[in-house]
Amino acid sequence: MIKKGIILAGGYGTRMSPLTKAVNKQLLPIYDKPLIYYPLSILMLAGIREILIIVNKGQLIQFRKLLQDGKRFGVKITYIEQKKPVGLPDAFILGEKFIGRDKVALILGDNFFYGQSLTSKLKKCIQLNTGCKILVHPVKRPELYGVAEMNNRNKIKSIKEKPKKSKSNFAITGLYFFDNKVIDYSKSLKPSKRGELEIIDLLNKYKKKNKLKSEFLGRGAAWLDTGSIEDFYNTSSFVSALENRQGLKIACLEEIAFKYNWIDKKDIKESINFYGSCVYSNYLKKL
């Protein structure tokens, strides 16, 4: 079972400049919560309580101010500063000490997931024994993503990065589950032409050993990449519409922790004091 998770919250966020010249993208608001709350909530929904957040050099204090050590959410959060972004697999090299001999999940800090059966799928994914499992979701323009081509038994035939022509429209989302071999595999990767370690190369190492599996998010689920200004505000509008219609919050970390019995009413009250008088605090009071 996977008990540890990494959130990759570094990167320059150049597509959202000049906003990201002042603030890390993952600290910008998706409706009423910082973006980082959404990937953090996914790991928590999966039942993962040991979490490493990788941030840009010089931005650690901002994340600590917001999330502290995670006790408020019933989890343990540690941090590592990344000198510069050199590809997703670098997360496993930087996080080697954190991972130890355990299996690990990785989620990109700018990815948003939502769906009715999402929690049950996450619980299934953390049962991983060996190999790697990726989540895939159909998209309209597969040429913009890493793509997984399946056979008629939903087994992965091939994976390609932003193919100009593809028989598949299943994009590889920014949520991955790995066994402990991911550390050694990541160390053995060579930088690509753009000078980075590529996640597709890492996945192909598992593919060659017949250890790469997939899980479908499902038609009723939503996966959004908030990497551009347009996508960022579309995601914010999506959250706003759902929350205002349902009266329920997406990615309320304290609510997840409370339902899992990781925190109690006293902890909820401490969070209310931390946030002060706001809509989020009013929601916590109803819990």
- What domains appear along the chain, each with residue ranges and CATH number? 4-135+172-251 (3.90.550.10)
Q: What is the pLDDT of residue 64?
A: 96
The answer to whether residues 166 and 149 touch, using CB atoms and an 8 Å cutoff, is yes
Q: What is the mean pLDDT of the chain?
A: 93
The answer to whether residues 39 and 85 touch, using CB atoms and an 8 Å cutoff, is no
Q: What is the pLDDT of residue 229?
A: 87
Q: What is the mean pLDDT of residues 214-220?
A: 87
Local confidence band at 153 (pLDDT 50, 70, 90 cut-offs): confident
pLDDT digits (tens, 9 = 90+) for 13-65: 778 788 777 788 899 999 999 999 999 999 999 999 999 999 999 899 999 99
DSSP one-letter string for 63-97: HHHHHTTSGGGTSEEEEEEESS---TTHHHHHTHH
Q: What is the pLDDT of residue 219?
A: 80
Its pTM stands at 0.95
Work out the percent of the chain whose per-residue pLDDT is above 90. Answer: 78
pLDDT at residue 226 tops 80: yes
CA distance 108 to 103: 17
- Strand positions, DSSP E, 9-75: 29-30, 33-34, 50-56
Whether omega before 163 lies within 30 degrees of 0, making that bond cis, reads no
pLDDT digits (tens, 9 = 90+) for 169-196: 999 999 999 999 999 999 999 999 888 9
Residue appearing with tokens 């299996």: 103
Q: What is the pLDDT of residue 111?
A: 94
Q: What is the mean pLDDT of residues 67-82?
A: 97
Local confidence band at 67 (pLDDT 50, 70, 90 cut-offs): very high
Helices 265-275 and 279-286, packing angle to 10 deg:
170
pLDDT at residue 75 tops 90: yes
Local confidence band at 10 (pLDDT 50, 70, 90 cut-offs): confident
pLDDT digits (tens, 9 = 90+) for 91-135: 999 999 999 999 999 999 999 999 988 999 999 999 999 999 999
Q: What is the pLDDT of residue 150?
A: 84
Q: Which residues lie across from 225 on neighbouring strands?
A: 111
